[in-house]
Amino acid sequence: MGANLKFEVLGDVVRHGFNLAVQCECGHRGVIDAAKMERWYMCHMWSTKKHELRAHLYCLGCGGMPPSARVGITASLPTGPTGRFPSNEEGWKRLVRGLRG
């Protein structure tokens, strides 16, 4: 990463082709697909500001939602289960319909 890159919102991370590295207080680490996460947050109308992302994250290791989890930027490939986000366009459309009520 260059010294002049600023990542203030999730869209900035996606635009530069990076993912999110998250570390819980318990020591568990994971890499989240930033593009899918951005779309997930947008569907739920949650803030995509970098410092507010952890409000909706939970740890797959301990199950907690630690407010002091560290969120960083990485070029690594996503880890963890892939079933969290819809796998196709129809799945995303179903999600949006379900959220609209």
Q: In the prediction, which pLDDT does 101 show?
A: 73
Whole-angstrom Cα distance, residue 23 to residue 68? Answer: 9
Distance of CA 65 to the CA centre of its chain: 14
Whole-angstrom Cα distance, residue 92 to residue 26? Answer: 32
**First-to-last CA distance in the chain?**
41
Quick one: tokens of 81? 């289960």
Residue 17, judged by CB atoms within 10 A of its CB (0-12, 13-18, 19+), counts as: exposed
pTM: 0.85
Q: Where are the domains of the chain?
A: 10-100
Q: In the prediction, which pLDDT does 34 show?
A: 94
pLDDT band with cut points at 50, 70 and 90 for residue 100: confident
Which residue from 70, 75, 53 is spatially nearest to 9, judged by alpha carbons?
A: 53
DSSP-assigned letter for residue 78: P
Give per-residue pLDDT as tens, 26-38.
999 999 999 999 9
Give per-residue pLDDT as tens, 36-93.
999 999 999 999 998 899 899 888 888 888 788 899 999 999 997 777 899 899 999 9
Give per-residue pLDDT as tens, 3-15.
567 889 999 999 9
